[in-house]
Amino acid sequence: MLVVQELAAAMRKEEAFRDAILDDLEVLGVDQFGDSAVVIKMRIMTKPIQQWMVGRELNRRIKKRFDELGIEIPFPHRTLYLGEGVARELATASGKSGAAPQAAQSAAALVDRALLKEVVREVLEEMRASGAAPAIEGRHTTEGASSPDPRQHAAKGGHQAAPGDD
């Protein structure tokens, strides 16, 4: 959390944000652990209507800094176990036979990646057709220092809250 506080402090010193940011970032701590997220609650005091600009820039800098430090943003993973027989068949079909009996000498490592993708695609299509397909999230959500701009919501015909109505 020190990384995030350092980023916010540096932003506050910059000319572009000096007037918009009124107080230091307050990190409230880890709020929850999800399947594909660690939610850290934080807040930063800004001038009215400046919170969206500040929040977006802070989120951009956090992502960039996390990438530099090798901190990964979690996302759902799915592991398919095809069994040793299927892995051997795939290895043979791709012309890379000769796997040692430690069937695991990772026959999967010998498999042609394109062939494996094709098999996975077929399995998923069969699962979808039978109605047994797992829900696969196509959207990555995170909570951060910013949330949707209510002005954009109002422009689309949504309700605009009264000032101070958070």
pLDDT in tens, 64-89: 999 999 988 777 777 777 777 776 77
Q: How confident is the model at residue 112 (pLDDT cuts 50, 70, 90)?
A: low
pLDDT tens digit sequence for 21-65: 999 999 999 999 887 788 889 999 999 999 999 999 999 999 999
Give the residue among 4, 3, 9 at the shortest CA–CA distance from 23. Answer: 9
Contact 49, 61 (CB under 8 A): no
Alpha carbon distance 11, 70 (integer Å):
22
pLDDT over threshold 60, residue 160: no
Q: Where are the domains of the chain?
A: 2-75, 84-130
Alpha carbon distance 87, 136 (integer Å):
24
E strands, 71-123, where?
none
**66 class by beta-carbon count within 10 Å (0-12 exposed, 13-18 middle, 19+ buried):** middle
Q: What is the pLDDT of residue 109?
A: 55
**CATH, range 2-75:** 3.30.70
